[in-house]
Amino acid sequence: GENVEQHPSTLSVQEGDSAVIKCTYSDSASNYFPWYKQELGKRPQLIIDIRSNVGEKKDQRIAVTLNKTAKHFSLHITETQPEDSAVYFCAASMKLTGGGNKLTFGTGTQLKVEL
C-alpha cells in the first residue's frame, strides 16, 4: 500500500520567515496530494492541493510543489504569521477497489511561528 513520510515533525520559525515541509510517497499510482491544517482541538481543513499533472500551485502565501519522478511534494509558507501555527498534514490519494479514493496521511508537522 501507499506510504507517506513527512519531515520535519516539528518546525519553529520567526514571524516573517518562510517554512517548508516535505513529504515523500511510495506508490506511483497516487495522483492527488492535498495539504491539511489542523489547529489544536479542531478538525483538519484543506489549505491547498495539487494534482499529478501539475508541478506547482500557489495560493497567496502558500505554495505546493510536486516532483513525480522523485515522488516528493512540499508545502511552502512565506511571510509566516502567528496564526499559521498549527499541525500540517500532507496526504496522497489513490483509487480504492471499492470505488472512491483513499487518502494516506503523513504523520504531521507541528509548525510554531514565534514573534
Partner 1 sequence: NAGVTQTPKFQVLKTGQSMTLQCAQDMNHEYMSWYRQDPGMGLRLIHYSVGAGITDQGEVPNGYNVSRSTTEDFPLRLLSAAPSQTSVYFCASSLTGLAIHEQYFGPGTRLTVT
Question: Where do contacts with partner 1 occur on this chain (CB under 8 A)?
Answer: 1, 4, 6, 9, 31-32, 34, 42-46, 49, 51, 89, 93, 96-108
Name the minimum Å distance from CB 106 to partner 1: 6
Nearer to partner 1, 60 or 100 (CB): 100
Can you say whether the dihedral through the CA atoms of 92, 97, 100, 102 is positive or negative? negative
For partner 1, give the closer residue by CB, 49 or 78. Answer: 49
Q: How far is the CB of 113 from partner 1 (least distance, A)?
A: 22
Judged by CB, which is closer to partner 1: 9, or 18?
9
Cα–Cα nearest to 23, from 42, 43, 48, 41: 48
Q: Is 109 helix (H, G, I), strand (E, B) or coil?
A: strand
SS3 label, residue 79: coil
Q: Which three cell numbers stand for residue 96?
A: 480504492
